[in-house]
Structure 1
Amino acid sequence: MVVTRKKLVPDVQANEVSYGKGNAKKYIVVHETDNTRTGADADAHARLQYNGNSRNASWHYTVDDKEAVQSFEHAWRCWAAGSTTGNNQGIQVEVCVNSDGNYQKAMLNAAELVAKIMKDEGIPISNVVQHNHFSGKNCPSQMRAGKVSRSQFITMIKNASGNTTQQKPSTDTNRYRVLTGTYATKQAAENVLDVLKHRFGWVAYIEPDEAKWRVKTGTFTGMDAVQAGANKIKTAKLAQVTKIVVNNIKDQDS
C-alpha cells in the first residue's frame, strides 16, 4: 500500500503550466521521469513543480519507491502527454528512476496508485496507457525496454488493492531550515546550491561564513521533514555536516 501526500501547486501558478481545469479524466497516462540522478525522487519532482517548474510541463503525481506525491487535483489538464487528447483527458503519473531508488518498488507503488485512481474516477484498465500512446515518445522508457513490461505492470495493477494511505499531517507545525557545513570556495557552495535547486527542487541560498561559505535551505514544516532533508543532503554526499535550525520568520519558502 503506497503512502500518498499532497503538495499542490498554487492555482495561479498552475494556470501558467496547464490548460486549466475541466479534465475529462478518461485515461491514466504513465510516464517515467528519465532522471536517474541521485536524489531525483518524488519529493524532488513535486518540489520542482511547487517552486515553479522552468519547463512548460506539469503532471498530477510523482511516484518513487517510498511514496506518491500529488501536485495537481485531477480536474487540472496538465501538460504531459504530448497531445491535446492526452492532456485534456488524462491523469498523468510520473514514475521516478533515480539511481538511489528501487525501480521495482516504485512500479509497485505506481500500480497501487493507478488502481486507486481507477477506482475513484471509474477509469477502466484498458484506458491505462503509456505516454507513447498519445505522442509516440519513448516513454516510459524503462518499461518499454522491458525492465518492468507493460503486461507485468497491468498485472501489478490487477493485483493491487486499490487502497492508499494518506500521510497524516505532522503535529509539529514549526518551520526549520538545514545549514550545511562550510565550503572553502564560493564555487563549491554554488555547486551544492545548483543540485539543491535543480535536482532536488528546493529553495536554497548561499551564505558567507567568515572566509568560507555555506548553503542554507528554504523552510521545512515539521522535524520529520527537515530531518529527511538533512539526510538527503548527506546521502547525496553534498555535505558531511548539516545543522537543523528553527526558522523564526513566518516566510513561505519550502
Structure 2
Amino acid sequence: MTSIRKKLVTDVQANKVTYGKGNVKKYIVVHETDNTRSGADADAHARLQSNGNSRSASWHYTVDDKEAVQSFEHVWRCWAAGSNKGNNEGIQVEICVNADGNYLKAMQNAAELVAKIMKDEGISIGNVVQHNHFSGKNCPRNMREGKISWSQFITMIKNASGDVQQPAPIADNNKYRVLTGTYATKQAAENTQDVLKHRFGWVAYIEPDGAKWRVKTGTFTGMATAQAGANKIKTAKLAQVANVVAA
C-alpha cells in the first residue's frame, strides 16, 4: 500500500474553499491535476492547499508516484467535481501528471488509495467515477485519452482491493470408482477388500480378471474425490496400482 501522509488544511481555510462539513461520501471522484510542470507532485499540491489556494478549488487527496497526501478529512465537501452532487457526495482524488514523475506508478498508487477509501467508507466499485461523470469536463484527461484506460484503472483498483473475480469452479458430479491392479490369489484380494470395508468404511467388491483378481470400490462423486481415494489405497500399500474409472 502506498504511504498516506496527512497535511490537513486548517478549518479556517477549509471554510473558504469548501461547502463545509457534511459530505455524504457516496462516491470517489477521480481527477488528474493536468499540471505537467516538473516538481508538481503530491507534496507541492498539498502545500498549495495548506498555504491557501488562490483558486476556488479544493480536493481531499493528491497522489503521485511516491505517496498520497491528504489535505481534507472525508467529511468536508470539497470544490472539485463541478456539480453540487459531486461536491456534496464525493471524496476527491487528484492524480499527479508532473513530467518528472512516473505516471504508471502514480496510477498504481492511486488505485491502492481508492481501494483503501472504498474499504474505509463502504463505497462500491460502481461509485468510483471520473470527474467527467458530474461535470462533463475532460478529466482525468490522460486516462480518457487511453494512456491508461479507465477500465484498466478499475482493474487495478480491484487487484489492490483483492476484489478480482475468480472463475467459479466447475462442479464435477460424475461418479467414479477406483479399480486396483491384479492380485495373484483371491485371498490377497479379499484382504484388501476387508481393509477398505472395515478400516476405510468403503463399499468394495472383488472381480475376477482372468486367473487373477482385482478389487473395485463403490462410487465416488467427482474425479478429485476418486483420485484421493486411489492415493489413499496406494499410500496404505494395499495395491501398487489404483486407477480411477467411470462408474
TM-score norm. by structure 1 comes to 0.63
| Corresponding residue of 2:54 | 54
Kindly provide the CA deviation profile for residues 47-90 of structure 1, in whole angstroms up to 9, marking residues without a partner as x: 00000001000000000000000000000000000000000000
Query: How far apart are residue 161 of structure 1 and its match?
Result: 4.1
| Corresponding residue of 1:244 | none
Kindly provide the CA deviation profile for residues 101-122 of structure 1, in whole angstroms up to 9, marking residues without a partner as x: 0000000000000000000000
Q: Measure the CA separation in 1 of the matches of 2:107 and 2:38.
A: 18
| Corresponding residue of 1:121 | 121
Instruction: State yes or no: 1:83 paired with 2:83.
Output: yes
| Corresponding residue of 1:248 | none
| Corresponding residue of 2:96 | 96
Q: Percent identity?
A: 85
| Corresponding residue of 1:29 | 29
Counterpart of 2:73, as a letter, is E
Q: Hey, which bits of structure 1, 4+ residues long, moved more than 6 A?
A: none
Q: Secondary structure at the match of 2:117?
A: helix
| Corresponding residue of 1:11 | 11
Counterpart of 1:137, as a letter, is K
Kindly provide the CA deviation profile for residues 150-197 of structure 1, in whole angstroms up to 9, marking residues without a partner as x: 0000000000047xxxxxxxxxxxxxxxxxxxxxxxxxxxxxxxxxxx
> Number of paired residues?
162
| Corresponding residue of 1:73 | 73
Q: Measure the CA separation in 2 of the matches of 1:4 and 1:72.
A: 12
Q: Secondary structure at the match of 1:152?
A: helix
Larger radius of gyration: 2
Q: Secondary structure at the match of 1:16?
A: helix
| Corresponding residue of 2:212 | none
Kindly provide the CA deviation profile for residues 7-66 of structure 1, in whole angstroms up to 9, marking residues without a partner as x: 000001000000000000000000000000000000000000000001000000000000
| Corresponding residue of 2:144 | 144
Kindly provide the CA deviation profile for residues 125-148 of structure 1, in whole angstroms up to 9, marking residues without a partner as x: 000000000000000000000001
* Structure 2, unpaired ranges of 5+: 163-247
Counterpart of 2:37, as a letter, is R
Question: Where do residues 160-239 of structure 1 align in structure 2 (5 Å cutoff)?
Answer: 160-161=160-161
Q: Secondary structure at the match of 2:16?
A: coil
Q: Secondary structure at the match of 1:65?
A: coil
| Corresponding residue of 1:109 | 109
TM-score norm. by structure 2 comes to 0.65
